[in-house]
Amino acid sequence: MKKITIAIDGHSSTGKSTAAKELAKALNYIYVDTGAMYRAMTYFALKNGFFENNVLNETRLIQSLDDVDLSFEYDQSKEKSIILLNGENVENFIRQMDVSNKVSYVAKIPEVRHKLVKIQQKIGEKGGLVMDGRDIGSVVFPEAELKIFMTATANERAKRRFNELKGNNSDLNFDEVLANVQERDLIDSSRETSPLIQTDDAVKLDNTNLTKEEQADVLLKLAKKQIEKVNTTS
């Protein structure tokens, strides 16, 4: 049976990664967390001092792209793939608020996107994968057999992000998280290179009022229907 490529795009904090992971596991497909790749690039920029007074020196980052190697490794103890930056596990570092506040500035750089898109396309050459991000259905895999566009209200997404982060940050402010979500929406949707868009052939999924179980059920049904269609017509 032919395996398909599933592209999941959408706004920040819609739970794309969690949904994609669960769907890939249910289908026995490969999962690729592209958001982690851009976060790792942002962590690299922070670590190397490319943000000066909170302003990114894009030239220095672009000149250093050849020094960046990103890969994924399956962690048996956590039963998930973790991202490695030049061989170092940076999973815990890339989820911090400082990275969240700056990732959109790194992700909008054409040279950064070009480098990561090439890595993503290489990983997905044989199909049988679920990949989530901002431009998977529009740029990385425009021919993907199934495209999902996930969204939810900004307030609901900020609540989810706040609950996710507050355990590690007692000083976290909800209004700050909401502002970050809204700012990322604006930057992601208005950047010149690969802006966040819903393609005409994507299925829109608003999960504002859906439980994780309900969402997982919807996604699995969509995937199985498309897999059956592809194998019936091929």
- Residue range 162-203, pLDDT digits in tens: 998 887 666 888 999 999 999 999 999 998 888 999 999 999
- In whole angstroms, what is the distance from residue 107 CA to residue 132 CA? 14
Between residues 123 and 208, the one the model is more confident about = 208
By three-state DSSP, how is residue 168 classified?
helix
Report the interhelical angle of 34-47 vs 97-107 (nearest 10°).
100
Contact between 225 and 218 (Cβ < 8 Å): no
The sign of the torsion formed by the CA atoms of 229, 202, 116, 99 equals negative
Q: How much is the pLDDT for 82?
A: 86
Q: Name the strand (E) or helix (H) holding 179.
A: helix 174-190
By three-state DSSP, how is residue 2 classified?
coil
Q: How much is the pLDDT for 171?
A: 80
Maximal C-alpha separation, the chain: 57
- In whole angstroms, what is the distance from residue 167 CA to residue 169 CA? 6
Query: Which pTM does this prediction carry?
Result: 0.79
